[in-house]
Structures are given as C-alpha cells and as structure tokens.
Amino acid sequence: NSRQHQYRPGSPPGQTQLSSRTLSTRRELYERDFPLYKQPVEIGCFSLDSERRFFNDSRQLRYYVEPDRNPNFDLRDGYKERFKKRDDGVKEKLDHILRWIVANKSKLNSRTASACALDADFVTWRGHLTKLLTTPYETKEGWLLAVTRFRGTLYMSEVETETSRRERENRTDRHEEMMYWGYKFEQYTCADTVHSVPDPGGVVNTNEAFCTVVQTRLADHKLLFSGEVDCRDKDPNAPAPPGCYVELKTSAEICTPKQRSNFHRFKLLKWWAQSFLPGVPRVVAGFRDHEGVVVSMETFQISKISHLIKNEYNCWKPTVCMNFCCDFLSFVKRVVTEDSKSVVYLFSWEPRRDVTYSVYRDSQYSFLPDWFVEEMSS
C-alpha cells in the first residue's frame, strides 16, 4: 500500500494526511522515490473524423515532416476562412473510449472467469491524468473528476468547473485565434500519408483526431487510458507505437532569461506530463513571435526534460507528480466502494485546498451510457 509512505516519521503535524476524507496536494508529501511506472503498451487506437464520427482504426494518423530550422510559418493564415472548430460545448465524457472498449471487448483480457470484467483498475483520458500529475504545482485552475465503479473498474471522467465554463464562454477573439495557431502548426508539419507532404492550403478541422489506447501500471494501479496523438515518425524503421509518436507544440519565442525560466517552470511541466504518460518520447516545438510567425524549431526528448530543469530554483519534480497521482488513485480506490453504474463520486480540487469528494445517485453526473452498460453485461 503506497499510502503508508505519506506518513513521514518526524514530519511536523500538518505535513501528513490528517483526514481520511480529504487528500493533501502539498508537494513536500510526495517527495519520495519515483513510483513504478511500467512502459506503456499500445493496445489499440481509434480515429474521429471531420464530423467527429468514431472509427476503430488509424485513418486519422498523420506523418511528421521535418521543416526548416527557421521555417517562417504564418500561423494566422486561414483564420477564420479555413477553420472548422469542434463544438467544445458538447461534452463527450468517456464515450469514445467506451466505444473502443465495446468494439474490442473480445480482445481484452479478462481478469476473472467473468467475461465482462476488464483487466484495468482505472479507465480514463490521458488528459485527466495530466491534470492529476500537475496538481501539486497548479496555482490557477481547479478540477472536478467524476468516478463510477462498474464491475470492479473505476471509470474517471472530468466535469467542467463553473470557472472553466465561464472562461470558455467568454474567450476573447485574440484567445480564440491563438488556440487556432497550435492546430495550424500541426497542418504545416504533418502529412496525411507516408509519402505525401503537408498541405497548408487545406482546412484546419479540430474535429479530426487520432487517439492511442494504452495499458500500463502505476505502482499497484492498472491503467487503461486513451490520448490524442498529433503524428508519427514516417520512418518505417521507427520504434513501434507509442515510441514512434511525436507531440507538436507551439510556444512564444524565448528572448530573456526570465522567459526561459518561465518556460522551464510552467510549460515544460505540462509538456512532460502529457507525453510521459502514454510513452511518447519527443515533443517538437515551434517558437513563434507575437504576430504568430514560427521563427525557430526545437526538439525535446521527454527523457531529458528533468535534466533540463535541474538548474531552476524550486522547480517541479517528476517524482512529486507521479507520487501525487498514485496516492490520488489509492484515495479513489478507498473511497469509491459502491459498484453501480448510476452512482458518481465527485472529486473536487481548488488551488491551495485539499482534494474533497461528495456522492451522487442517479444525478446529472452519471456518465456511463446505457449502451455501454448493456454491452458489458451481455
């Protein structure tokens, strides 16, 4: 039981977990040996097309085409004439992952004699786990995670906070345009097939996605999660997935030591957490100026990021991220005891607070669809 490590002998009161109903997010509690994190294995993938339709295949996987060192990509090009934005008011919850599970039910290992039990303690999105990893260092945005135990597996799905909904509904035009830039960068650097080249004249459609489904283990937690993947190495001799995957990012050009320090302290934390989880080995970054022109490129190996940040004073630590996530999952296992499709335990966190939870029966928070429950029961 990894929880026993939270009680550090000699810690003054207030540094240990005082209540069994809450979980502290204080960094000092999670500074211990790096927990076991098994190499993630890809067990499948799926695609979402230009209309957000699900396909149990890799049709949306794109291929990375290395640009010049100083490419001069204009990220504003095509905004808004060649932009189809996904409706982010539609909450898809775990639906796509559940569809993948149903489509691959016969291939999934059974834990017990019962053919419908999944060989996973947790099913969730990679993005939800990224938020857990960065929680000890997050000072602005809280989160809500809904958890339902169904046939022994814990399904974990994010609920939008009131603050986040208000921000989404009140984004400025500048912010909306800057969100487009990241996708436009993908269009400049990705081709649809191994032998083709990028088409910057096409439409940027953010409904389209390729998602990997991976299985791994964090200490004694068996995880099955899915995450969107930007593209892959086009070399046929590249490592098998997820080793061949490439994460693309844009970031403001770094001109001062202060900007470099902020980049290490805040951006690299998010980039590391997102790619480390599914075992994506590298991030390709395009640095852009204030007009949205990419002026330089840099590749970051995920395995080298922890060394890069070691010179920053009081910087984030991978071990704190992983130990907090591990302890949160143990906390969830301890709390979420009732096995029922319609019961939701809602875990809630706000910066400078402990994680708390409340329980809901047949509420607006229930998220396992009837079609999933029926498929998994037959």
Residues found near ligand A3P in the complex (CB under 6 A): 179, 181-183, 185, 230, 249-250
> Which residue number, 204 or 343, has a Cβ lying nearer to ligand A3P?
204
> Which residue number, 141 or 220, has a Cβ lying nearer to ligand A3P?
141
> Which residue number, 47 or 250, has a Cβ lying nearer to ligand A3P?
250
3-state secondary structure 17-82: CCCCCCECCCHHHHCCCCCCECCCEEEEEEEECCCCCEECCCCCCCEECCCCCCCCEECCCCCCCC
- Going edge to edge, which strands form the sheet with 209-218? 54-55, 41-48, 209-218, 221-228, 122-125, 153-159, 143-150, 343-349, 356-361
179 binds, among Mg ion, ligand A3P, none (CB under 5 to 8 A by kind): ligand A3P
Say if residues 62 and 45 touch (Cβ distance below 8 Å): no
Say if residues 373 and 116 touch (Cβ distance below 8 Å): no
Least distance between ligand A3P and beta carbon 185 (Å):
6
Least distance between ligand A3P and beta carbon 109 (Å):
30
Least distance between ligand A3P and beta carbon 347 (Å):
20
183 binds, among Mg ion, ligand A3P, none (CB under 5 to 8 A by kind): ligand A3P
> Which residue number, 182 or 281, has a Cβ lying nearer to ligand A3P?
182
Conformational region of residue 93, where left means phi above 0, alpha means psi within -120 to 50, and beta covers everything else: left
The CA distance from 105 to 97, in Å, is: 12
Least distance between ligand A3P and beta carbon 266 (Å):
13
Question: Furthest-apart CA pair in the chain: how many Å?
Answer: 63
3-state secondary structure 214-280: EEEEECCEEEEEEEECCEEECCCCCCCCCCCEEEEEEEECCCCHHHHHHHHHHHHHHHHHHHHCCCC
Residue 206: which of 48, 84, 88 has the closest Cα? 84
147 binds, among Mg ion, ligand A3P, none (CB under 5 to 8 A by kind): none
Least distance between ligand A3P and beta carbon 190 (Å):
11
> Which residue number, 129 or 368, has a Cβ lying nearer to ligand A3P?
129
> Which residue number, 79 or 183, has a Cβ lying nearer to ligand A3P?
183
99 binds, among ligand A3P, Mg ion, none (CB under 5 to 8 A by kind): none
> Which residue number, 42 or 230, has a Cβ lying nearer to Mg ion?
230
208 binds, among Mg ion, ligand A3P, none (CB under 5 to 8 A by kind): none
372 binds, among ligand A3P, Mg ion, none (CB under 5 to 8 A by kind): none
250 binds, among ligand A3P, Mg ion, none (CB under 5 to 8 A by kind): ligand A3P
Q: Contact residues for Mg ion (CB under 5 A)?
A: 228, 230, 248
Conformational region of residue 177, where left means phi above 0, alpha means psi within -120 to 50, and beta covers everything else: alpha
Least distance between ligand A3P and beta carbon 249 (Å):
4
